[in-house]
């Protein structure tokens, strides 16, 4: 959704947000095909099948040309793309500039804000606590957080699956004004919930899909309460450390590790393009505040899609991962949403978008292919998010049977 509507655009489902800001609009339920399920405990598929083309020099040139075309047409300053399939050459490229003023080049080592991809970490934390018996996915949120509308009936599972019916705080007009009038302003989780809870619930719990960042703020509070740790500390100890993701951080303010790309957005009070590297992402918190790099997201793509750490240990149990990957249909054609994760035409993962930055991290189980896309703008083109345009262009070439396509959604990712 554009800034002109006084709502933050959401970065897509997931991929799908992932926090441009963080979520999709309210839409009616789609009658449903059987949910797609990829079972974490099933045999690892062979990478030799036809689902992904061999990454020959000719295919690499096609990818270069296609990404550069999207950049020209959508006026994207800088993009980094990584594609990895076991047994195939890697494709890692950066295009354009990280900073338009200085002309500094985009490079694969830059730190980038990843918006709604944060949701995959928050829900992973929740599932770990469920594995330990500290929470139940079918517990009501009111058992953990007071003052939630329908809190006695909305379950943790419904929050993680975007089926709670709670209003999305990033679509509140006063929130938009507060953020854009002072982008360095810190927000607390309670302030974010206050913006949401002054609106009526949109539908009965579980009735349909509606992407709401409010859900993830609540789940972040549950993780903190039941783990006894601050959310960033929990991530570091139980997810990032075990996965070896040393360059992924959960900031507490506007701090941004160097080197990083400058971001560019038109989600501003006057609609003019602004630089956003110094903006405070606390408004996204458990729904969209994280920072990462290409290499770390390369690690995360198969880890979150399979529930297995790089060293072979389980991040969450196979049974819990199987529940995560039950992805009921959404109103978005070809896209299902599980517990904090999307399945878009067979690609498992999430996208992210917040002012100035977009990202996409997806995994194709049949070939064990990982794709990561990082951009330093969230300014849309023909009502499409730039990360979706790049993801679509890439997958049309490498996996024509599995073309990633996720229409732009409203609000923060």
As for how many domains the chain has, the answer is 1
For residue 329, CA distances in Å to 206, 322, 338, 340, 407 come to 13, 16, 9, 14, 15
CA pair distance 102, 348, nearest whole angstrom = 37
CA pair distance 279, 293, nearest whole angstrom = 18
Question: What pLDDT sits at residue 374?
Answer: 99
Output the pTM of the full model. 0.90
Q: What is the mean pLDDT of residues 161-176?
A: 98
Buried-exposed string 137-161: b where 16+ CB fall within 10 A, e elsewhere: beebbeebbeebbbbebbbbbbbbb
Q: What is the pLDDT of residues 118-134, one digit of tens each?
A: 999 999 999 999 999 99
Instruction: Give the pLDDT band (50/70/90) at residue 24.
Output: very low
Q: What is the pLDDT of residues 199-245, one digit of tens each?
A: 999 999 999 999 999 999 999 999 999 999 999 999 999 999 999 99
Q: What is the mean pLDDT of residues 167-188?
A: 98
Question: What pLDDT sits at residue 383?
Answer: 85
The gap from C-alpha 382 to its chain's centroid, in whole angstroms, comes to 21
Query: Would you say 178 and 226 are in contact if contact means Cβ atoms under 8 Å apart?
Result: no
Query: Would you say 263 and 276 are in contact if contact means Cβ atoms under 8 Å apart?
Result: yes
Q: What is the pLDDT of residues 38-64, one digit of tens each?
A: 333 333 333 444 799 999 999 999 999
**What is the pLDDT of the chain when averaged over all its residues?**
90
The gap from C-alpha 41 to its chain's centroid, in whole angstroms, comes to 24
The gap from C-alpha 391 to its chain's centroid, in whole angstroms, comes to 14
The neighbour count for residue 49, using CB atoms within 10 Å, is 9
Q: What is the pLDDT of residues 72-115, one digit of tens each?
A: 999 999 999 999 999 999 999 999 999 999 999 999 999 999 99
Please identify which residue in the block is written with the tokens 């549950």.
Answer: 222
Instruction: Give the pLDDT band (50/70/90) at residue 8.
Output: low
pLDDT at 287 over 60: yes
Burial-class residue 382 by CB neighbours within 10 Å (0-12, 13-18, 19+).
Answer: exposed
Question: What pLDDT sits at residue 151?
Answer: 99
Question: What pLDDT sits at residue 406?
Answer: 86
Question: What pLDDT sits at residue 206?
Answer: 98
**Minimal CA–CA distance to 67: which of 401, 399, 391, 407?**
391
Q: What is the pLDDT of residues 291-321, one digit of tens each?
A: 999 999 999 999 999 999 999 999 999 999 9
Taken as a whole, the chain contains a residue count of 413
CATH of the domain at 137: 3.40.710.10
Query: Would you say 196 and 170 are in contact if contact means Cβ atoms under 8 Å apart?
Result: no
Q: Which domain holds residue 107?
A: 3-410
Q: Which letter does DSSP use for residue 34 in this model?
A: P
Question: What pLDDT sits at residue 411?
Answer: 42
Q: What is the pLDDT of residues 237-252, one digit of tens each?
A: 999 999 999 999 999 9
CA pair distance 167, 202, nearest whole angstrom = 6
């Amino acid at each position: 959704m554009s800034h002109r509507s006084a709502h933050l655009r959401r970065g897509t489902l997931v991929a799908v947000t992932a926090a441009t800001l963080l979520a999709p609009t309210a839409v009616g339920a789609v009658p449903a095909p059987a949910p797609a399920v990829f079972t974490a405990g099933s045999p690892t598929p062979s990478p030799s099948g036809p689902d992904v083309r061999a990454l020959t020099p000719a295919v690499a040139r096609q990818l270069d040309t296609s990404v550069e075309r999207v950049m020209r047409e959508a006026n994207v300053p800088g993009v980094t793309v990584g594609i990895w399939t076991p047994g195939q050459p890697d494709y890692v490229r950066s295009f354009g500039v990280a900073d338009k003023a200085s002309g500094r080049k985009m490079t694969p080592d830059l730190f980038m804000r990843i918006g709604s991809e944060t949701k995959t970490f928050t829900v992973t934390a929740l599932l770990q606590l469920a594995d330990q018996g500290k929470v139940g996915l079918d517990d009501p949120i009111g058992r953990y957080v007071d003052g939630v509308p329908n809190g006695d009936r909305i379950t943790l599972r419904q929050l993680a699956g975007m089926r709670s019916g709670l209003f999305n705080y990033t679509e509140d007009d006063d929130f938009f004004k507060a953020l854009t009038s002072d982008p360095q302003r810190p927000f607390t989780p309670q302030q974010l919930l206050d913006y949401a809870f002054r609106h009526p619930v949109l539908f009965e719990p579980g009735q349909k899909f509606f992407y709401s960042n409010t859900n993830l703020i609540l789940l972040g509070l549950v993780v903190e309460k039941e783990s006894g740790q601050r959310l960033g500390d929990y991530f570091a100890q139980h997810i990032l450390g075990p996965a070896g993701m040393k360059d992924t951080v959960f900031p507490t303010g506007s701090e941004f590790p160097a080197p990083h790309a400058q971001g560019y957005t038109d989600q501003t009070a006057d609609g003019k393009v602004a630089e956003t590297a110094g903006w405070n992402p606390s408004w996204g918190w458990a729904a969209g505040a994280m920072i990462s790099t290409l290499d770390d997201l390369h690690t995360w793509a198969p880890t979150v899609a399979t529930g297995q750490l790089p060293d072979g240990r389980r991040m969450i149990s196979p049974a819990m991962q199987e529940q995560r990957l039950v992805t009921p249909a959404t109103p978005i054609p070809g896209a299902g949403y599980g517990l904090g994760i999307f399945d878009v035409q067979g690609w498992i993962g999430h996208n992210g978008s917040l002012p100035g930055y977009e990202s996409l991290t997806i995994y194709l189980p049949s070939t064990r292919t990982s794709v990561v896309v990082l951009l330093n703008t969230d300014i849309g083109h023909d009502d499409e998010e730039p990360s979706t345009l790049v993801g679509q262009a890439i997958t049309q070439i490498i996996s024509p049977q599995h073309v990633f396509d996720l229409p732009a959604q409203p609000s923060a990712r």
